[in-house]
Amino acid sequence: MYDAAIIGAGVSGVATAWQLSHYELRVALLEQCADVGFGVSKANSGIIHAGFHHPAGSLKAKLEIRGNLMFEKLQYELGFPFRRDGILVVAFSPEEMATVQKLYAQGVANGLRNLEMCGRERLLQLEPKLNHEVVGGFFAPGGGTIEPYRYVFSMVESARKNGLELYCGFKVEHGAFDGKHWTLAAANGKTIQARYVVNAAGLFADEVSRNCGAEDFKITPRKGEEYLLDRESPARPRRVIFPVPTKTSKGVLVIPTAEGTTMIGPTAESTDDKGDVSTSADRMKQIVAQVRQMVDGISARDIITSFAGLRPALETEDFYIELSKKAPNFVQVAGIQSPGLTAAPAIGEYVKDLLRNAGLRLVEKNGDHTLPRRHEIRHETPESLAALHQDDPRWTHVVCRCENISEAEIIEAVRHGHTTLDGIKFYTRAGMGRCQGGFCSARIMMIVSRETGIPMERLTKKGGASHLLAGKLGSMEVK
């Protein structure tokens, strides 16, 4: 019997679980995928938004601004990559400049005191790689970037250290309340009982709500394609560059990621297919043409991979975070499209307060939420690397050449419960570089198999039937 069960281990559910792990509660986090953060939370732009895109009075604006302010402390405690390098919004015509003025005024109305209107010269000083045709814009120093998967993984790790119980492969198919408790039934026949339920199921929050007898609403996926440039691309800017937004999106951006690469995108197109994460050559060409208007040096030849994410959009376009009016002790966390990543820490706080108001007793516990610093050989000095090597030579056995990831780091990921190729990739960055795993995938599989005892032919890319090998592997030796 749990005090609370959270459905969905994306950033919203995980941030809620992390908040609740500060109290004397028994909490279960239920995730249908093989690992956490495998939904929308792994396929996004990784931007910590500054708080000027959404109108004052919207829940989005309120939680975005609160969430933004929480990142230094979170980074200090949890150690995920985060940089506050600022955001530029740029205009290339007097018409666009009028939109920039409106956006600036919206930011000021939202309480931002540090926005700086800029003329052409000042913009080029802040970002020398900008196209010199730029007319004007503004600078939002509070914006930044994070590594989204590490952010999710480290919040889960910290929450688990403080008692959170995580169930992956648990797809909630049905929920019923008997007057006192919820019983949540999974596709695999397992059940869990809890006093309170949080529906943070992302794209599937509408289905989960219906299957639990709560509100009827519709999530419409809005697809965003993103393209990643090689680490060596000369086009990498210092700060995130935004064009003026459209009605349905913040526009196509140039993003210097927290990991040191450059990303361009995303598009914004509504679809009915919650599984459509395809990308296309046409969209790629459109994106490259659009971002080249902002930064000349961007070349399609530098693109090393692409992906698409689906924004879980509601008709209202705002977040829907409320106690259900139909189902008792049931909190809806739906419509969490952008700026969901930014707002997530504040979403967690907000949901905790809703649960408290609904009667969940919160007694603080003396937990330790900080995580030990991870050794990352690509950031170490030669001396500290030598010391690590003395301790364990696997720290200098490089498995992923593009991102310089060692065998010891792969083992660390496995010991933290990540056993799919994607789980290892998101935890360590192995396979994310120029060759996209061409060199290291087989080596990673051998290490995972050796460390876990899982036969090579049963290893998967991301759980389920995504097996990496067809048939038997013959006499391949796993050392």
Which residues are annotated as catalytic? 49
Q: Which of 27, 29, 49, 406 binds ligand FAD (CB under 6 A)?
A: 49
Is the Cβ–Cβ distance between 378 and 408 less than 8 Å?
Answer: no
Q: Per CB under 6 A, does 306 bind ligand FAD?
A: no
Label the pairing between strands 144-146 and 82-83. Answer: antiparallel
How many Å apart are CA 208 and CA 173, to the nearest integer?
7
- Which residues in the 144-183 window bind ligand FAD by CB under 6 A? 170-172
Q: Per CB under 6 A, does 337 bind ligand FAD?
A: yes
- Which residues in the 245-284 window bind ligand FAD by CB under 6 A? 266
Q: Per CB under 6 A, does 335 bind ligand FAD?
A: no
Q: Which of residues 306 and 329 has its CB atom nearest to ligand FAD in the complex?
A: 306
Q: Per CB under 6 A, does 342 bind ligand FAD?
A: yes
End-to-end CA distance of the chain: 43
Q: Per CB under 6 A, does 83 bind ligand FAD?
A: no
Q: Which of residues 146 and 444 has its CB atom nearest to ligand FAD in the complex?
A: 146
Token match 């540090």: residue? Answer: 114
Q: Per CB under 6 A, does 311 bind ligand FAD?
A: yes
The token pair at 410 is 């792969």
Query: In the complex, what is the shortest distance from the CB of residue 343 to ligand FAD, in angstroms, rounded to a whole number?
Result: 7
DSSP-derived 3-state class of residue 99 = helix
Question: How many DSSP H helices and E strands does the chain contain?
Answer: 13, 22
Number of C-alpha atoms within 13 angstroms, CB side, residue 204? 17
Strand (E) positions, 92-179? 116-119, 136-140, 144-146, 165-168, 172-177
The stretch near ligand FAD (CB under 6 A) out of 86-94, 200-208, 364-372, 422-430 is 200-208
Q: Per CB under 6 A, does 291 bind ligand FAD?
A: no
The stretch near ligand FAD (CB under 6 A) out of 2-10, 136-144, 368-376, 403-411 is 2-10
Burial environment of residue 457 by CB neighbours within 10 A (0 to 12, 13 to 18, 19 or more)? middle
DSSP-assigned letter for residue 373? P
How many Å apart are CA 132 and CA 295, to the nearest integer?
9
Query: In the complex, what is the shortest distance from the CB of residue 45 to ligand FAD, in angstroms, rounded to a whole number?
Result: 3
Q: Per CB under 6 A, does 214 bind ligand FAD?
A: no
Q: x/- site string to ligand FAD, residues 405 to 444, per CB under 6 A?
A: ----------------------------------------
Q: Which of 21, 44, 306, 406 binds ligand FAD (CB under 6 A)?
A: 44
Q: Which of residues 395 and 426 has its CB atom nearest to ligand FAD in the complex?
A: 426
Query: In the complex, what is the shortest distance from the CB of residue 448 to ligand FAD, in angstroms, rounded to a whole number?
Result: 21
Q: Which of 23, 71, 196, 204 binds ligand FAD (CB under 6 A)?
A: 204
Q: Which of residues 8 and 107 has its CB atom nearest to ligand FAD in the complex?
A: 8
Give 424-429's long-range contacts (Cβ < 8 A, gap of 24+).
424/448, 426/35, 426/37, 426/42, 426/149, 426/150, 426/153, 427/149, 427/150, 427/153, 428/400, 428/403, 429/259, 429/400, 429/403, 429/405
- Which residues in the 4-23 window bind ligand FAD by CB under 6 A? 7-13
The token pair at 348 is 């967690």
Give the list of residues 6+ apart from residue 470 with CB closer than 8 angstroms, or none: none
Token match 């933004």: residue? Answer: 68
Query: In the complex, what is the shortest distance from the CB of residue 3 to ligand FAD, in angstroms, rounded to a whole number?
Result: 19
Q: Per CB under 6 A, does 202 bind ligand FAD?
A: yes
How many Å apart are CA 26 and CA 418, to the nearest integer?
23
Q: Which of 194, 341, 388, 446 binds ligand FAD (CB under 6 A)?
A: 341
Q: x/- site string to ligand FAD, residues 112 to 151, per CB under 6 A?
A: ----------------------------------------
Query: In the complex, what is the shortest distance from the CB of residue 87 to ligand FAD, in angstroms, rounded to a whole number?
Result: 10
Q: Which of 19, 21, 41, 329 binds ligand FAD (CB under 6 A)?
A: 41
- What does each C-alpha distance from 424 to 46, 170, 310, 374 come to in angstroms? 19, 20, 22, 15
Binding residues for ligand FAD, per CB under 6 A?
7-13, 30-33, 38-41, 43-47, 49, 170-172, 200-204, 208, 224, 226, 266, 309-311, 336-342
